[in-house]
Structure 1
Amino acid sequence: MPHSHLHDLSEDLLQRAARVRLACFDVDGTLTDGRLLFDSEGRESKSFHVADGQGLAQLRHFGVRVAFVTARDSRVARLRGEELGAEVHAGAKDKLACVRELCERHGLALEQVSFMGDDLPDIPPMRHVGLSVAPANVHPWTRPHARWITRAAGGEGAARELCDLLLAAQGHVPALLAELER
């Protein structure tokens, strides 16, 4: 998200984004398009967007912790999270309890957390964190719990939009771009 788009966002949203030190993401429907693909041997595959991975890597580079919080115990999600240096909490049936435990472990308040989710199990953490976000394809019952809806759908760059918002609101974009000119 270029700086020019920041003026389109509310001051409240920018202030909330500026406070985030832990970015939590549901996986299916948020970091992926929500489809679960299985081969004839029962092996699962998912499609992740490379732009989301770049955004998550940039968040970590600038000191924002990244966590995947998913109810499905997915080996694919674990592998992708490990590849990106994210904490992976797969099989998290109580996502709010998981987020609270992460806050306690890292000495953070819930106001310093963003949570991106798209469906009913994501509502509890979305109701309690400082910045709740959903992709464009969010379920209608979950939509009212998101403070911000991305333009992109899950698995199509939605997570990158949140990453860019956090980086811009925290003033990291000039340093990020300067590093690329070296």
Structure 2
Amino acid sequence: MEKSYKQYLAQISTLIFDVDGVLTNGMVTVMPDGQLVRQMNIKDGYALKTAVDCGLRICIISGGKNEGVRTRLKNLGIQDIYLGAHDKIEQYHELSDMYGLQTENVLYMGDDIPDVPVMKLVGLPCCPNDAAPEIQQISKYISNKNGGEGCVRDIIEQVLRVQGKWDGNFDAKYD
């Protein structure tokens, strides 16, 4: 019998997220100079900062190259940020080697086909509610929130609650 996704939450120590379609809604505004502007959910930011402060390893692997995204994530305390990653499995193996990651301790949230190879390797593959059908098929947890609309907060809060680290009395600065 397949384990419920909730049975994986207690042992998660590393959470890896895609950016576009997970931390954002996947939409970009094209500025006159060609710059692509994204929006991120402040509640996802709070959850990311809280997770870092609670000792969880947060990593980002994204095909996008926006340095504004890197700045935002670094300001939340995230150290492992891979942008411009077209073959995400390479960055996953680098992280795994660097930290000695164990499959059962890793959660990955992605939303589209480039996320499939990594999602097949981790203990808890997750996705937003509006992820591609192929991603939903391989996910052990599908958030009820869409990308950029709180799906990251949703899964982080669940992990922290199960691990007894979410008590509502946080002093984290996240903006």
Normalised by the length of structure 2, the TM-score is 0.90
1:170 to 2:146 alignment: no
Aligned with residue 49 of structure 1, among 41, 46, 65: 41
Number of equivalences: 169
2: CA distance, partners of 1:97 / 1:141: 21
Report the AA paired with residue 82 of structure 1: K
| 3-state SS of 1:78 partner | helix
Partner of 2:147: 154
1:68 corresponds to which of 60, 65, 74: 60
Counterpart position of 2:50:
58
**Root-mean-square deviation (CA), in Å?**
1.6
CA displacement, residues 55-113 of structure 1 (integer Å, 9 cap, x when unaligned): 01111111101111001222222122112122210011221221121121112212211
Unaligned runs of 5+ residues in structure 2 are none
Amino acid at match of 2:46: Q
Residue identity (%): 31
For residues 38-117 of structure 1, the aligned pairs below 5 Å read 38-86=30-78, 87-117=80-110
Distance 1:150 1:15 in 2: 16
Q: Is the 8 A contact 1:30 1:159 kept in 2?
A: yes
In structure 1, which of residues 28, 32, 36 is the aligned counterpart of residue 20 of structure 2? 28
Return 5+ residue gaps in structure 1 as ranges. 1-9
8 Å contact from structure 1 (residues 44, 76) kept in 2: no
Q: Secondary structure at the match of 1:128?
A: coil
Q: Distance in 1 between matches of 2:44 and 2:74?
A: 14
Greater helix share, structure number: 1
